[in-house]
Structure 1
Amino acid sequence: MSDDAEDVVGVLTEQIEQRFGMSIGELKTAVAAAPDANRQATDVVRWHGLLTESQTALERAEDDLLRALETQPSEVDDPTMDLAHRVNAAVTARDGRAMVVRWLLDPDAPGKRGPDADRLARLDRGRRQGPAVPTSAPARPATAPATGRGVLR
């Protein structure tokens, strides 16, 4: 893996820290204490966590592939090829999550301006805090009709 690819998490972490003016650890602590205080910070922390998880999975997959390749003769067997596919899938997952973090950090990203973004912002501001339907049992009349055993009609 190239140094540039390995540093994707580092570069994005620096951008997050610059954007919010605190270390990623401090930001995670702040979001954990008040997740509704800043929705963008909450989203960025969530996706940064997913990004670091996928980077760790990628590193494990690469290590497994390298170990398998060291023991291979000239031709690669199916289990080793499966490890190579696992590395490719891990790169794809990591890169996709990195794209989401970049999008979250870019105020001018596509979809963040214009009529669609304005409509989504209005919908979000009008979001209900409670349930949309009543959740308590309906009121019962003061005198319920007499039914059941032992009642004469």
Structure 2
Amino acid sequence: MLDAIDDVMGVITEQIEARFDMSFFELQRAVTAAPYANREATDIVHWHGLLAESQKVLESAEGDLVAVLESQPGELDDPAMEMAHRVNAAVAARDGRAMVVQWLLDPAAPGKQGLAAERLARLSRGARQGPAVQTSAPLRPATAPEPATGRGALR
């Protein structure tokens, strides 16, 4: 049986290779040579790199936790519990990044079709020509307001 760690990275890398019909190393080289040629490939390589980084953090956290558990029989102390929480956080980060890569690989994923996809495409192409809100000063009336008469403070 494959180790769960190798399974996540291996399965996702295989899916990327199948999607682009080339090895991941070749895809990385192509993206490095021409990062703007295929936005989808660039995004997938970027997120795969983030996934690999989070995988390394997870492996380190798990190694630290195993070392503490082997040296500490019985009830866990606060530092050991902190390490366990660190492992949980690393798993969540790794799994989140894996989900992003999976979403990027799936052309039928929610948000990639219909109105949401059109909006996403416009944003990623930079279709907006100007700011979303008015940034210039409002127009002033052509006539100046009448000066206040009388004494005292105006309220």
TM-score (structure 1 length as normaliser): 0.78
> Aligned partners of 1:112 and 1:39: how far apart in 2?
14
Task: For residue 53 of structure 1, report the CA deviation from its aligned partner.
Answer: 0.7
Amino acid of the structure 1 residue aligned with 2:36: D
Q: Which runs of 4+ in 1 moved over 6 A?
A: none
Q: Which amino acid aligns with 1:104?
A: L
Partner of 2:72: 72
CA contact (8 A) 2:5 2:55 kept: no
Identity in percent: 68
How much does 1:127 deviate?
Answer: 4.4
Corresponding pairs, count: 128
**Structure 2 runs not aligned, ≥5 long:** 132-155
- The farther-off stretch of 100-109 and 4-13 is 4-13
* Corresponding position: 1:17 with 2:2: no
Shift of 1:124: 3.5
Cα drift, residue 109 of structure 1: 0.2
Aligned to 1:116: 116
Q: Which residue of 2 aligns with 1:46?
A: 46
Match for 1:109: what amino acid?
A
Q: Which runs of 5+ in 1 are unaligned?
A: 133-153
CA separation in 2, counterparts of 1:32 and 1:100? 21
Q: CA deviation at 1:75?
A: 1.1
Q: Deviations over 1:51-105 (max 9, x none)?
A: 0111111111101000001111311111111110000000000000000000000
